[in-house]
Amino acid sequence: MKKHLFFLVILFSCNTQDFIISSTYQHWIGGRPETGSGTNYRFQCIAPANDSSFKIQSIKAHQKVLNYSIKPENFEKGDTLMVFAYKSIEDWNSDTLCKIDYQLYGKNYTLVPKELKQLERLLYP
């Protein structure tokens, strides 16, 4: 009985926000004036559920709403996901550096990554 109770306590104490492995961003500059510049974001995470039960609704960082894509598009619980994002023109006013809104089994959650690591600037030729 004690083993079952211990297992249940551990199961329900698990935080759904522990699925992010890493979160980074990298500023880039093109080698010619017409190529421009920008910031790329990358989030690596473990899928907490399959693609029908887990959906990222929005990602916001550095005062902007981000456009994003998830690879692979179809996944199972436990798969490693790569989320690639870049800034849109839509502003987001907040003191928070980064925020991810997602849906898991029909309930809405918000995740604030513990760290958003800046990588060295990328200079294209």
pLDDT of residue 101: 96
Give the H or E element holding residue 88. strand 80-91
Per-residue pLDDT tens digits for 22-75: 999 999 999 888 888 999 999 999 999 999 999 999 999 999 999 999 999 999
Query: What residues are paired with 107 via a beta bridge?
Result: 104
Name the one residue in this structure whose structure tokens are 């849109």: 88
Closest CA to 84 of 63, 104, 61: 61
Distance CA 42, CA 83 (A): 6
pLDDT of residue 89: 94
Distance CA 42, CA 26 (A): 9
Distance CA 82, CA 72 (A): 7
For residues 89-108, one letter each, b for 16 or more C-beta atoms within 10 angstroms of the residue's C-beta and e for the rest, the string is eeebeeeeebebebeeeeee
Distance CA 7, CA 15 (A): 15
pLDDT of residue 62: 95
- What's the CATH architecture for 15-123? Sandwich (2.60)
Distance CA 28, CA 36 (A): 9
